[in-house]
Amino acid sequence: MAYRKIVDNVCEVGAIDWNRRSFDELVPLHEGTSYNSYLIKGSEKIALIDTVDPKMLPVLVDNLKEAGVDRIDYVISNHAEQDHSGSLPDVLKLYPGAKVVTNPKCKAFLQDLLLLKEEDFITINDNDRISLGDKTLRFIIFPWVHWPETMLTYLEEDKILFSCDLFGSHVADSRLFATKEDEILVYEGALRYFSEIMYPFRDNIRNQFSKVLELDIKYIAPSHGQVYENPDFIINCYKEWTSPEVKNKAVIVYNSMHGSTEKMVQFLTSELTKRNITVVPFHLSVTDIGKLAMEVTDAATVVVGSSQVLGGMHPSVAYAVYFYNLLRPKTKFVSVIGSFGWGGKMLEHIQSMLYNLKAEFITPVIAKGYPKDDDFKNLEKLADSIFENHKKIGVLK
Ligand code: FEO
C-alpha cells in the first residue's frame, strides 16, 4: 500500500483491510474496511494521528518509511480501541522519543489495554493546542463516539478534522477521497458503520454536534473509510441518523421452521403495503445482521416473528432480538407474531429481552399451528393498529 496525500505535508499512512469480512465478529463487511493513520509534517515537529490494527503494522511501517519519516515527535491517540491504538507500542519502539498525546481518560485506557507507561504520555485537555511549527493541532474532547475517552483533532491551518470513528465508514478503496459518484456506496458503508457502532450513542453525538458545526472544515478525515472533501455530505447524514425522528417503516424480523410464521409474515407484509407503510422483512436464515441494524435505525415499528422451539423463540430470533435491544433503538411500536404447537413462553421471553425499548407494545398475534381465519383477521387488526399509530405520530399522512 502507498501513502496518500491529503494536502502538502499531510497524508494518510494507514492500512486498507481489503479482506476483512466481519467487524467486531458481529457485522458482515462486504467491502472490507480501513484503519487510517495520518502523518502531519510541521516545520518543527512531526505528528502521527492514530495507528492501525496490530495485524496491519507492517503496512504502516512501510508507509512511514516510504514517506521518509525518520522521526516522530507526537502520536496523537484520538481513541484507545485497538484497531487504532494496537500498533502504538511498536511505533513507540520504532521511533524512540515519540510521545503519546491524548486526554486523561484515553491515557488510562491505553495504560490498561496496552501497558503503556506514564512517561510515554503528554496529557492534553479540551481545546488544548500543540504546535508543529507551521501547523497547529487542536484537541476537541468528544466523549462517547463510541467509547468514553474519544476525542477529535483539528488541524487549524489546513482545516482538516481528524474525526476518529465519528463519520467513519466500512469502505476499502485505494482512492483516498470519497467521490460524488460513489456517494451511494459511501452512504451504505457509513450507515453500516453508524448503525452498529454509533447508533446507541446518537443522543451523545447530537448533543455535542455543535462542536463540529462551529469548525471551519475543508476535509473530514475519519479513522475508517475515505476522506470527505465534501464534509456537508457526511455531516448531513449524521444530522439525520442521530435525530430522534422515525420513518413510516415497519421492519419484520423473523424465522419460520415449517412455514406457518412465514405465511403470517407474508400476509402482514401485504397488509402493511396496502396501507402505504414501507415494510422490510428479514428472514433470519438469510439475513445480514448489519443490514438489519441499518434498517431498524429509523423504523417506527418493529415486529418480531418466530416459530416456537422447545418452549421458547427460535435461537436465531433470540440472537437478533438481543442485538436489536443492545442498539437501544428509537422504535415507537413493537409487536410479536408467530406460531406454536403446544405450551411454552415464547412471547414472554421476547418481551423480556426488549428491556431497552421505550416502545408501545401492540397486541401480538400468535397462531396455534398454521394460521387460520381468526389469525389473519388479527393480523389485519395489527396492520390497522400500526397504520393508526404511524398516523398518530405524524410519519404517515
Ligand atoms: Fe474503529 Fe472504535 O474503533
Does residue 55 sit within a domain?
yes
Q: Which atom of ligand 1 is the closest one to the Cα of 223?
A: 1
Residues 64 and 200 in one domain: yes
Query: Does residue 395 lie within any of the structural domains?
Result: no
What's the whole-number mean pLDDT along residues 268-290? 97
**First and final C-alpha spacing in the chain:** 52
pLDDT tens digits for range 126-148: 999 999 999 999 999 999 999 99
Mean pLDDT, range 147-156, rounded to an integer: 98
C-alpha cell at 370: 398454521
Structural domain contains residue 397:
no
Cα–ligand 1 centroid distance for 81 (angstroms): 5
Which atom of ligand 1 is found nearest the CA of 146? 2
Cell of 263: 405465511
Is position 304 within any domain? yes
257/220 same-domain check: no
Q: For residue 28, how far is its CA from the centre of ligand 1 (angstroms)? A: 16
**Residue 58: which H helix or E strand, with range?**
helix 57-66
Closest atom of ligand 1 relative to the 164 alpha carbon: 1
Single out the residue in 193, 208, 241 at which a domain terminates: 241
Residue of the CA atom closest to atom 2 of ligand 1: 81
Q: CA 165, CA 143: separation in Å to the nearest integer?
A: 11
Alpha-carbon distance 195 to 238, whole Å? Answer: 11
Which residues surround ligand 1 with Cβ inside 6 Å?
79, 81, 83-84, 146, 165, 223-224
Domain boundary among 241, 264, 285: 241
Q: Which atom of ligand 1 is nearest to the CA of 224?
A: 1
For residue 1, the model assigns a pLDDT of: 65
Q: Is residue 233 domain-shared with residue 256, that is, in the same domain?
A: no
340 and 198 inside one domain? no
Domain carrying residue 139: 4-241
How do strand 33-35 and strand 15-17 relate by DSSP bridges?
A: antiparallel
Q: Does residue 396 lie in a domain region?
A: no
We report the CATH number of the domain holding residue 372 as 3.40.50.360
Q: State what percent of residues in the chain have pLDDT above 90.
A: 91
On whether the pTM is more than 0.85, the answer is yes
Burial 195-215 (b: 16+ CB within 10 A, else e): bbbbbbbbebbeebbeebeeb
Do 66 and 187 sit in the same domain of this protein?
yes
* Cβ atoms within 10 Å, residue 298: 21
Q: 353 C-alpha to center of ligand 1: Å? A: 27
Q: Domain count of the chain? A: 2
Same domain, 197 and 324: no
Residue 302 CA from chain centroid, whole number = 20
Regarding whether 306 and 168 lie in a shared domain, the answer is no
Instruction: Judge if 156 and 255 occupy the same domain.
Output: no
Closest by Cα among 342, 274, 347 to 306: 347
Residue nearest to atom 3 of ligand 1 (CA): 81
Residue 152 in 3-state DSSP?
Answer: strand
Mean model confidence pLDDT for the chain: 96
Domain boundary among the residues 219, 241, 263 is at 241
